[in-house]
């Protein structure tokens, strides 16, 4: 992808502009966390980000990464995505998008889908002022489907042993 590098640089630029506009000091650490986050297409945990950042900034502390991510979440630079049975995960993709979640292993992927984007959202509901919405699709990923198949096979043979 030839356009990736310039795009990343542009993202970094707009990140800096964003920070300055809010009088939020642009520190090396924040820049590094932002870059690490933007470089990923998945939903890393704080610790994965920490590891990524450490390759560029070995002296960074885990605490700082947590704090920066918290700040990002609060300011809308990244969002923390939820995920049952796992530690907090972050997503640098702030554009409207949806999620695929594997009900077996919990793996999650972003999903761009124009049809889902078009669903009409209520603007107000149950006292909430609705800002936006996204669709969570639950399903079984290909790895788990395979694993399940073999598990079923072994269950069946175990059942046969019992007879």
Partner DNA sequence: ATGTGTGCAAACGGTTTGCACGTGC
Partner DNA sequence: GCACGTGCAAACCGTTTGCACACAT
Residues lying near DNA in the complex (CB under 7 A) are found at: 19-20, 23-30, 45-47, 57, 59-64, 66-68, 70-71, 85, 87-88
Partners of 80 in beta bridges: 90
By beta-carbon proximity to DNA, the closer residue of 29 and 93 is 29
Q: Is 25 among the residues that bind its own copies (CB under 8 A)?
A: no
Q: Of the listed pieces 13-21, 27-35, 48-56, 96-104, which binds its own copies according to CB under 8 A?
A: 96-104
What minimum distance in Å lies between the beta carbon of 32 and DNA? 9
By beta-carbon proximity to DNA, the closer residue of 62 and 98 is 62
Using left for φ > 0, alpha for ψ between -120 and 50, and beta otherwise, residue 28 falls in alpha
Give the integer Cα–Cα distance in Å for 74 and 72: 5
What minimum distance in Å lies between the beta carbon of 136 and DNA? 20
Q: Of the listed pieces 14-22, 27-35, 55-63, 123-131, which binds its own copies according to CB under 8 A?
A: 123-131
| 8 A C-beta contact, residue 102 and residue 108 | yes
By beta-carbon proximity to its own copies, the closer residue of 132 and 160 is 132
Buried b (16+ CB within 10 A) or exposed e, 41-78: eebbebebbbebbbeebeebeeebbbebbeebbeeebb
Give the integer Cα–Cα distance in Å for 97 and 111: 6
By beta-carbon proximity to its own copies, the closer residue of 4 and 129 is 129
């Amino acid at each position: 992808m030839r356009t990736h590098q310039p795009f990343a640089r542009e993202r970094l630029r707009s990140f800096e502009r964003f920070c300055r506009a809010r009088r939020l000091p642009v520190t090396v650490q924040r820049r590094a966390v932002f870059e690490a986050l933007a470089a990923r297409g998945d939903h890393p945990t704080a610790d994965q980000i920490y590891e990524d950042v450490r390759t560029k900034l070995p002296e960074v502390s885990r605490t700082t990464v947590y704090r920066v991510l918290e700040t990002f979440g609060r300011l809308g630079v990244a969002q923390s995505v939820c995920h049952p049975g796992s530690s907090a995960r972050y997503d640098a993709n702030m554009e409207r998008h949806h999620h695929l979640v594997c009900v077996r292993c919990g793996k999650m992927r972003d999903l761009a889908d124009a049809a889902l984007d078009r669903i009409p959202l209520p603007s107000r509901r149950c006292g909430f002022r609705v800002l936006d919405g996204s669709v969570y699709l639950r399903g079984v990923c290909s790895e788990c489907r395979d694993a399940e198949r073999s598990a079923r096979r072994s269950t069946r043979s175990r059942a046969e042993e019992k007879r």
